[in-house]
Structure 1
């Protein structure tokens, strides 16, 4: 999970590419969720939808901030 926390730290620092690089090749459902979130941040809902399916989660409808907080809580990263 430390790599996933690194992705969230990168995103918080404004490093979208760094966050994406961390989750790109991670096969876990948690990484897919973060990957989906990143594509929401990017403004690519179709790509995000793909990653939500890979994560086994419904597409997020709330704010980016609320989703990021949910991810952090689920990972125990905050």
Structure 2
């Protein structure tokens, strides 16, 4: 899977595609409107990639203090983007990362 369009089409499935990274699974559940399941995918992980998604989820939740903590762990700044734009940016980033790692 390489495109945002393909990823968005996968939101019609019952479950995320096997082989998705934890970050993509989290973004997939978020795209389905299941914030809690999205959070569960990355909450226990300590790597920078997961911290970035974790930060986005707390920003979406409205907990900016917690979001900023996780942006710091991810070595990212809170973006001046809409939540939708940030979600798209994250999906594209992790789709590229997954493609490079295969």
Structures share a fold, TM > 0.5?
A: yes
Q: Runs of 5+ in structure 1 lacking a partner?
A: none
Superposed, which structure 2 residues align to 1:55-70 within 5 Å?
A: 55-70=74-89
Alignment TM-score, normalising by the size of structure 2: 0.71
User: 1:4 Cα deviation (Å)?
Assistant: 1.4
User: Counterparts of 1:59 and 1:17 in 2: how far apart (Å)?
Assistant: 21
Matched, 1:4 2:62: no
Q: Runs of 5+ in structure 2 lacking a partner?
A: 1-19, 97-102
Superposed, which structure 2 residues align to 1:1-78 within 5 Å?
A: 2-76=21-95
SS in 1 for 2:79: coil
Q: Which structure: larger Rg?
A: 2
User: 1:52 Cα deviation (Å)?
Assistant: 0.2
SS in 2 for 1:14: coil
More helix by share: 1
Higher RCO (CA-CA < 8 Å; seq separation 6+): 2
Question: Would you identify which runs of 4 or more consecutive aligned residues in structure 1 move more than 4 Å?
Answer: none
Look up the match of 2:99.
Answer: none
